[in-house]
Chain A
Amino acid sequence: MATIVGMPKWGLAMKAGRVVHWLKRPGETVRQGEPLVEIESEKATNDVEAPASGVVRWLGVEEDDMAPVGAPLAVIAPPEEQLSDEQVAALLRADEEARREAAKRSQRQPAGARAAATGAGARGAVRAATAAGGRVNASPAARRIAQELGVDLATIVGTGPGGMIAREDVLAAAEDQHAPSAGEGEERTIAVDGVGIHCLIAGPAGAPPVVFVHGLGGSLATWSLNLPAFAERFRICALDLPGAGASDKPQAGYEVASLADTVARVLEALGPDWLPANLVGHSLGGAVALALAGRFPGRVRRLVLVDSAGLGPDIDGALLGMMREEPTQAGVRAELSKFFAQPGFVQQALVEQMYEQRTQPGAQEALVKTIDAAFGGGTQRIDLRDTVATSPAPVLVVWGADDAVIPVSHAQAATLAPQGRVEVFEACGHCPHIERGEAFNALALSFLSAT
């Protein structure tokens, strides 16, 4: 049985990838797990490993060419299998057909019905999972996992003995329910007073909402290591602040209070499901989230502040000076190196992506206005510690111990909060959500899941 290797999907925003370098050529033998091809996405360059052992039979994309996520890159055949060109072509046609069908299915049916259909089809039996008394017939393990994954047992057909919903039925339903939303995400631009705000929305409809606000000089791409994990359990919206990323760059409105109002207006536009929302803010985005919470306390459920501005006077003035300069790749690289404790995180792809954003029309002007408003004079001009102290929403403050941009001592502000908690990551810089992505996700998910 031959195996088709498709373009991987790294993170919510990835739509296509570029083949940098083939590490194996047609006719070469490859072992399962061995690097096959180097792929570059917006965020990173990584090796794709061979999913099976065999002989590389076909390569579909030339080096330096782009291909959409899921597109076939290569065919690996077992050594004893002699595939003709016609057979390879037939295999690829069947694969394309299957992907088209899957895409159609995921648009057509609600998740629960789909889970039911596949569950029943797989085991060849359809039985009612609900007993006569109306109580759902599910195993203890199925109940626990359904609760953890936010799956409604009433929508699942059980395939266990007597129609009981078993663990695997819930896992299948959860995969079905979450895969399209977590995998795809939806990009939208919401107009606030004529300023287009670019958002990425994902996660199961009806799940509790989480809104992500990036920091100075960043964009929603800063959360690419976090969004997939959150979108499994939460309805998420990551937005580009005015002047940043793919949002519009207006002439004014870069004060923290205005930015907070803009985010609040975006949530209003998204609809009643988004209130109250959990807010996750990084650096300047933390101050924006806090300002929003201060102005509209009823709209915020829980706050996660990551190396946040607004909690003390200090900030690295030299960095601000560098950001004011006209952007060059070397300059962007030097800025980025201040963000991480471990130099390995400053990759060329990240530098290029940041540089590209910074050189968009109006982006540099917007950045300078944002710096002037929040950090003019090389010090933090916004102090939101009173908001922390009076916050009815529980506050989680996360910090990197070696943050060279805003010192970790500012994390103390969390102790002011009626319900505050601090977590400091050792040997970590200004971006724990990147440098300690998995640990950050686990921490913040657990905090946001608390009731």
Chain B
Amino acid sequence: MAVAIRQLTYAQAINEALREEMRRDPRVILMGEDVAGGAGKEHPEAEDSWGGVLGVTKGLVKEFGRERVLDTPITEAGFIGAAVGAAATGLRPVAELMFVDFFGVCWDMIFDQGAKLRYMFGGKARCPMVIRTMIGAGMGAAGQHSGCHYSVFTHMPGIKTVVPSTPADAKGLLSAAIRDDDLVVVFENKMLYSMTGEVPEGEYVIPLGQADVKREGADVTIVAISRMVHQALAAAEALEQQGISAEVIDPRTLSPLDEETILNSVAKTHRLVIVDEDNPRCSVATDIAALAADRAFTELDAPIKLVTAPHTPVPFSPPLEQFYIPSPERIVETITALMG
């Protein structure tokens, strides 16, 4: 079957997923700060409505109206809590937590309410909601608007965590998240919003828990998360010039984690490097390293290496911010040393 392919940006792909899911299921609603925008103005449904701080939800209010695209006050505890309640009582809300760094003010609603509903009611209650949130350094947004923090969410049982790295993955994974009956947090890297890529026409879902081998290789496995997939692919290109063949695996979802794809790759290449922009302690990177150390120990031909951000907040200084983000050069350096 031929599937038509066109180029969309990561932001357009997310917008399209939201639009299709809202058309498909009237229970799907959006809520968050300025997700519609223009409240109180004369023509609130105009094309120039904000559509979120970076315009990802632009135009949705025009099609679906303010009943389904809700601007909320700047009070994350309030609207994330409202979303949990809406989900528990039959809607499928998609709430936008503008920057993931703000999770502290609504953490109780997320991990102690939403994430535990199904468990504490013995499966009789559900929380079919999605939180979309922005992550990532590189935009000069300083320490309170630039973190990744998906490791914190992945640590908590009851939360599914999704980290799309391409427009096509962003659309398919967000659609799957909205159709999922549990609390799913989709981490959108703000540095990827303008990135274009091929996206199939029409509705499709990418099942949660399926990693994607973004590049096949024989000598070393690089597991890279979100934007780091692109850093890893650039590093793999450079390594190829040196005769080193790197395989790049994008887990796409961190909870559930596709352990088999990672372990199979390690069994093939015998070397593992994890590239992660999140802070390194008690992180997804250390978790994947532990997985390989535990279940693929005798396949390893070299120590497992992590290329991550340092254990600091994201610096505002532009040179330091660039230094903070794992670069292709650092990945190449690490792998070259690993190959001996």
Contacts and interface: CB of A to CB of B under 8 A. Distances in A.
Interface stretch (A62-70, A158-166, A419-427): A158-166
B298 A141 contact: yes
Interface stretch (B36-44, B123-131, B299-307): B299-307
Contact of A140 (B298, B337, B338, B339): B298
Interface of B: 270, 297-302, 337-340
A159 B300 contact: no
Contact of A160 (B297, B298, B299, B302): B302
A214 interface: no
A168 B337 CA distance: 17
Which secondary structure characterizes the binding site on chain B?
helix
Contacts of B300: 139-141
Classify chain A's interface size: 10 to 19
A142 interface: yes
A160 B270 contact: no
12 contacts: A123-B340, A139-B302, A140-B297, A141-B270, A141-B299, A141-B300, A143-B298, A159-B340, A160-B302, A160-B340, A161-B338, A166-B301
A164 B270 CA distance: 14
A167 interface: yes
A164 B337 CA distance: 12
Contacts of A159: 340
Interface in A141-172: 141-144, 159-162, 164, 166-168
B340 A144 contact: no
Nearest to A163: B340
A162 B340 CA distance: 7
Contacts of B339: 161
Interface of A: 123, 139-144, 159-162, 164, 166-168
Nearest to B338: A161
Given A141-B270, A167-B270, A161 B298 contact: no
Contacts of B270: 139, 141, 167
Given A159-B340, A161-B337, A161-B338, A166 B298 contact: no
A370 to B, nearest CB: 49
Contacts of B302: 139, 160-161, 164, 166
Contacts of B299: 140-141
Given A123-B340, A140-B297, 5 more contacts: A140-B300, A144-B298, A161-B302, A161-B339, A166-B340
A327 B302 CA distance: 62
Contacts of B338: 161
A164 to B, nearest CB: 7
Contacts of B337: 161
Contacts of B340: 123, 159-162, 164, 166
A139 B339 CA distance: 12
A139 B302 CA distance: 6
A141, A142, A143, A166: residue with the most chain B Cβ atoms closer than 10 Å: A141
A123 B298 CA distance: 24
Nearest to A147: B298
Contacts of A140: 297-301
B240 to A, nearest CB: 19
A71 B270 CA distance: 37
Nearest to B337: A161
Contacts of A143: 298
A62 B338 CA distance: 52
A166 B220 CA distance: 14
A161 to B, nearest CB: 4
A159 B338 CA distance: 11
Contact of B301 (A123, A160, A162): A160
A159 B339 CA distance: 9
Nearest to A161: B340
A125 to B, nearest CB: 9
B305 to A, nearest CB: 10
Contacts of A160: 301-302, 340
Contacts of A123: 340
A328 to B, nearest CB: 55
Interface centre among B298, B337, B338, by most chain A C-beta atoms within 10 angstroms, is B298
A416 B340 CA distance: 55
Nearest to A138: B301
B187 to A, nearest CB: 33
Contacts of A161: 302, 337-340
Contacts of A162: 340
B31 to A, nearest CB: 50
A168 to B, nearest CB: 8
**4 A-B pairs closest in CB distance:** A144-B298, A161-B340, A160-B340, A141-B301
A161 B298 CA distance: 18
A123 B339 CA distance: 11
A144 B300 CA distance: 10
